[in-house]
Amino acid sequence: MAFDQHAALPDELKHALSRDFFIRFTTVGRRTGAPRTTETTFVWKAQSTGPNRIYVSGYPGKRDYVANALANPTVTIHTVEHGVYYDIPAVARVINDRNDRTGPLLAFLNRWANRPEAEQRVFGWLVGAININRRLHLPWWGPFYLARRIMDRMPCVELNFTGPAIRRLNPPPPSTSDH
């Protein structure tokens, strides 16, 4: 029997993924083979059919978790907020193609710009302008060229759920890296 990803998510976990701002995920260190846990912001793409997935990104630049995911794509996702702790087995896919990355990165930036605890009016306006530019399929000119350059340097990793979520009684492992 195949793993039904949508039906397998408990309502408590669905609620946590829709409201939480941070997750952690554990990769295997490409050099050491040791577990490496990274905390980052994310976007959850809930599906009624097909795979559930999380997109992670962050500040532009090289990140160890991207190199680790390329070396060994098996990861474990950990929820960390509001006392709701789950481990979710997943497989990572690093997205390098600009066209494939744009949608997830814009969703990530939209979520970051609209978080309730931070007032990000200028950033929110800029992300909105980029969204309009992309919907109209306009060229990346003027300030949008700079936005494209920044987005090209941002990591973009898709984490596809591969098994049932497991409820933890204790908090997840602490973050072991800043990158």
pLDDT digits (tens, 9 = 90+) for 106-162: 888 888 776 666 556 656 667 777 777 777 777 776 777 777 888 888 899 999 999
* Contact of 163 with 89, CB cutoff 8 Å: yes
In this prediction, residue 60 carries a pLDDT of 85
Distances (CA, A) of 147 to 22, 96, 134, 156, 163: 24, 16, 12, 15, 36
* Six token digits for residue 87: 């481990």
Calculate mean pLDDT across residues 2-13: 69
Render pLDDT for 28-44 as a digit per residue (tens, 0 to 9): 999 999 999 999 889 98
What global pTM score does this model have? 0.83
